[in-house]
Amino acid sequence: MQSCSAAGIRSKLSVSSSFQSVLDRIATEIAATPGRGRPADYIPVLASADPQRFGMAVAELDGTVYGVGDWQHPFSTQSITKVFTLALCLSREGEELWEHVGREPSGNPFNSLVQLEYEAGIPRNPFINAGALVVTDRLQALTGTAADTLRTFLRTESGNAGLDFNEQVATSEAAHSDRNAALAHFMASYGNIRTPVPLLLDQYIRQCSLDASCADLARAAGFLARHGILADGSSLLTRSQAKQINAVMLTCGTYDAAGDFAHRVGLPGKSGVGGGIIAVVPGRCTICVWSPGLDERGNSVAGVAALDRFTTLTGLSVF
């Protein structure tokens, strides 16, 4: 029984050596699938996105990228950037960071105020809005400009020097940021926010407004598949720290649908309401998929389906 199982795994892994053919097959299947969800409408500028658009890219450890569809088309990264801000903060601050933000699934919507009050202003995890505000606050204190630090990092790791903020998206988000302001002020009342709230909101909104393509994000996330090692061979994170981020992505990275995502896809992942999702196969590759139509939890309908098919066709999973 054991040898048959091993043979099956080897067979699937041999298929994964040709990522392009896998991506082409997935794109064909997604194109024939009805029901793509609806774009995010609480950020008005995102509401006009075409839910039929679809792109997907896979980056190997050496930076080689395979893509299909709109894989080179920039889109609004939104909450995907929380992964990179977390890595930048953890690399500088180490374990002290976890005294200010937890590592547990929230079970509530990403912008909920409910848990903060009875948990003394400590957010459940770094990927809900409250937790991301704490991480941005701490990175701001460490660097003096959290958003620019993030942009520089993404430009370097993606190889795209033109990757930049989308001012239209930032303006739209700033006009609808009352809930995030409430979260920040509430945490400040517990001493868990140090940056003046208006400045913190500006830095947080700007980081979420970054535009990037599937190719950009698949390359930029490569350090998580390389156990903390950057594209130039230097170390951003220890192996343990990279494991921590991947673990939090698996349990908390897709809002309050993380259990379903782990069940279907079986990879650490982080979604954003712009329709993108990044996923990590430690020691093998990173993936980014984009399609703007979302489900009721805020995750890309076509994106989750595509990642489900990817792990099924290749056998690449953490399980």
Q: Are 292 and 300 in contact (CB under 8 A)?
A: yes
Catalytic site residue 83? no
Q: Are 72 and 213 in contact (CB under 8 A)?
A: yes
Q: Which of 83, 101, 169, 273 is catalytic?
A: 273
Catalytic site residue 190? no
Locus of tokens 């690399």: 91
The amino acid occupying position 44 is P
Catalytic site residue 66? no
Provide the β-strand partners of residue 229.
235
Q: Which of 82, 83, 270, 301 is catalytic?
A: 82
Stated as kind and residue range, the H or E segment containing 59 is: strand 55-60
Strand locations in 113-199 (E): 164-165
Provide the β-strand partners of residue 271.
277
Locus of tokens 């989750």: 304
Catalytic site residue 12? no
Q: Which of 65, 101, 169, 204 is catalytic?
A: 204
Catalytic site residue 82? yes
* DSSP 3-state of 147: helix
Q: Which of 76, 209, 255, 265 is catalytic?
A: 255
Smallest Cα–Cα separation from 205: which of 43, 38, 87, 41? 43
Q: 170-208 b/e with 16+ CB inside 10 Å = b?
A: bebbeeebeebeebbebbbeeebbebebeebbbbbbbbb
* DSSP 3-state of 38: strand
Q: Which of 79, 158, 209, 213 is catalytic?
A: 79
Report d(CA 203, CA 185) in Å as an integer.
15
Q: Which residues participate in catalysis according to the annotation? A: 79, 82, 204, 255, 273
